[in-house]
Amino acid sequence: MRAEGAGPRVAVIGCGYWGKNLVRDFAALGALEAIVEPDQDVARALCHQYGTRSASLAEALADPRIEGVAIAAPAKAHYALAKEALEAGKHVYVEKPLALSTRDGAELVTLAARVGRRLMVGHLLQFHPAYLAMKAFIARGSLGRLTYIYSNRLSFGILRREEDVLWSFAPHDISMILGLTGEEPSDVSAFGASTLHPTVGDFCQVQMSFPSGVRAHVFCSWLHPFKEQRIVAVGERGMLVFEDSAKDATAKLRLYEHKVEWSDGTPHAVKAEKEEGVALPYDTGNPLKDECRHFLEVIAKGSVPRTDGDEGLRVLAVLERASAALRGPKGEPQCLPRVHPGARLAAGVLVHESAYIDDRVSIGSGSKIWHFSHVLSDVAIGDGCNIGQNVVIGPNVSVGSNVKIQNNVSVYEGVILEDGVFCGPSCVFTNVNNPRAEIVRKTQYRPTYVRRGATIGANATIVCGHELGAYCFIAAGAVVVDDVPPFALMAGVPARRIGWMSHAGIRLGADLVCPETGRRYREAAPDDLTEIT
């Protein structure tokens, strides 16, 4: 056993923005032997403040009094520095990420085992008392079956050039998510964008699916107006929130006992009596100081670090897969769809990277917006819609569910498309009867109602101010200048009724029976067809 005050001695390599915090805490623990910092002004100031000495890298690695090193250099230097330190016989604590490739990370893990030294990765939040309480709460089953985890790490601060926001911000969140699930993801996808520098991403979202069925995502940005560091775990019995950015320490971990109940196949949100949540207790502590203390204990006892090289390698594998997804199948950088932050997109929405989605737009589950299309403000699009290429919708347009709008269609203000409407390629909606380029007639827009199941053929024109009845069928090239009855088959310029169509889109014969489905209809009047039930 070591005598009191004779614990392991360490050197901190890199004493910049984050490294100076390691200097502070190792000094407070009585373990700081030296610092390695190329900026001599910074080195002199820290040595004076903490009563330590400055050394070169070679001197620190050759010093037998130094048993371990803590590396807080830029990420691109982590692999080389950690390798050199391990080969010199030092225990290594390296800030995240472990390396910039799984190949290099695996080499470090193998090397540490071969030379009999401990390799630890600086995943700080694994030492946060609130996160540890969160992890224990979930492990006990108190949240029920875990279904979904999401994490936001957002701020406006240091903008890096040597690494993108994925590698700079996401390791902490990925580490926490892997810790909560206890498994590695079966699928990883990512979107991101570079706005300040063509090769350095400023924001990204990483999506993960796990073998147990848990889904997770991480959203990171350093172009955010305020700081937000929050991870939310959703289970059958409630939602658990760890918000590290909360100013009140007692509010960092809260349980929201909201639930989802099902009735007749429909989910219903059931809010807890205390909608503001319940603060959960957790031990107090300084996460970074606890992490430094843990490294010293690992050296002294020869124990396995909580965040050992294998844990770092698992995080690195997810980062690498996400990074590959950001580059796309051909290696080019991919961008997030141009979606306004005020838009609301449900689960499973696909927006092509060439499309634009404006503010105050809502798009339902499973809908797809394809190449070069633009959805303007105040548009609502339902579930399961397919919006083709070069389509413009809005502003102030309502589109129901399961609507198909094919290429080169403009759906102008005032148009209402109910569920199941089909708009053929290049069909035209107007919103003013007598437009002039030199005269503004926005106050004269006339609404157009297209009822459920209607079909509009290619190149047809729908003059505004009319209603197209349910399941009507407008032939290609027709020009509609009046209301259209339900089930009517319309053709010509101007369009006139030339027959009837069934729900299935089949032209009815004299017996008014759909040959495909057997559904039967009758004429209640010359222009009034109803189904016989």
Looking at the chain, the whole-number percentage of residues with pLDDT higher than 70 is 94
Question: How confident is the model at residue 332, as a pLDDT?
Answer: 47
- The pLDDT of residue 506: 95
For residue range 420-435, list pLDDT tens digits in order: 999 999 999 998 888 8
Direct distance between the N- and C-terminal alpha carbons of the chain, in angstroms, rounded to an integer: 90
- Amino acid identity at 157: G
Could you tell me which CATH number the domain at 338-531 has?
A: 2.160.10.10
How many Å apart are CA 5 and CA 63, to the nearest integer?
Answer: 19
Q: According to the model, what pLDDT value does residue 3 have?
A: 38
Check whether 5 has a pLDDT greater than 60: no
155 phi/psi in degrees, rounded to 5: -170, 170
Residue 499, CA distances (Å) to 148, 509, 529 in order: 52, 8, 10
> For position 329, what pLDDT does the model report?
56
pLDDT, tens digit, 9 for 90 and up, residues 154-171 = 888 766 665 778 888 899
What are 394-410's pLDDT values in tens digits? 999 999 999 999 999 99
Cα separation, 484 vs 486, in Å, equals 7
pLDDT at 6 over 70: no
Question: How far apart (Å, rounded) are the C-alpha atoms in residues 213 and 218?
Answer: 17
* Mean pLDDT, rounded, of the chain: 90
Residue 457 confidence (pLDDT) above 60: yes
pLDDT of residue 198: 60
Q: List, in sequence order, every residue forming a beta bridge with 149; answer none if it has no partner.
A: 216, 233
Q: Which two tokens stand for residue 483?
A: 């209301």
Q: pLDDT tier at 440 (50, 70, 90 boundaries)?
A: confident
pLDDT of 2 reads 39
- CB proximity list for 446: less than 8 A, separation 6 or greater: 414, 431, 432, 433, 464, 465
**What's the pLDDT at 160?**
65
Which strand (E) or helix (H) includes residue 177? helix 165-181
Q: Which residues contact 327 (CB under 8 A, 6 or more apart)?
A: 333, 334
Distances (CA, A) of 373 to 5, 116, 279, 284, 512: 68, 59, 46, 52, 40
Is the CATH code 3.30.360.10 the one for domain 126-284? yes
The predicted-structure confidence for 488-503, as pLDDT tens digits, reads as follows 999 999 999 999 999 9
| Stated pTM of the model | 0.61
Provide the token pair at 391: 């389509």
Pick the CATH number of 10-123+288-306 from 3.40.50.1700, 3.30.565.10, 3.40.50.720, 1.50.10.20: 3.40.50.720
So where are the chain's domains? Answer: 10-123+288-306, 126-284, 338-531
227-245 pLDDT, tens digit each:
888 999 999 889 999 998 8
Give the tens place of pLDDT for each residue, 326-359. 876 554 444 444 677 778 888 888 988 788 898 8
Are the CB atoms for 323 and 166 separated by under 8 Å? yes
Check: CB of residue 219 under 8 Å from CB of residue 125. no
pLDDT of residue 197: 66
> Do 126-284 and 10-123+288-306 fall under one CATH topology?
no
3-state secondary structure of 314: helix
Give the Cα separation of 479 and 459 in Å (integer). Answer: 9
Buried residues in 326-347 as b, exposed as e (16+ CB within 10 A): beeeeeeebbbbebeeebebee
Gap between the Cα atoms of 18 and 94, Å rounded: 12
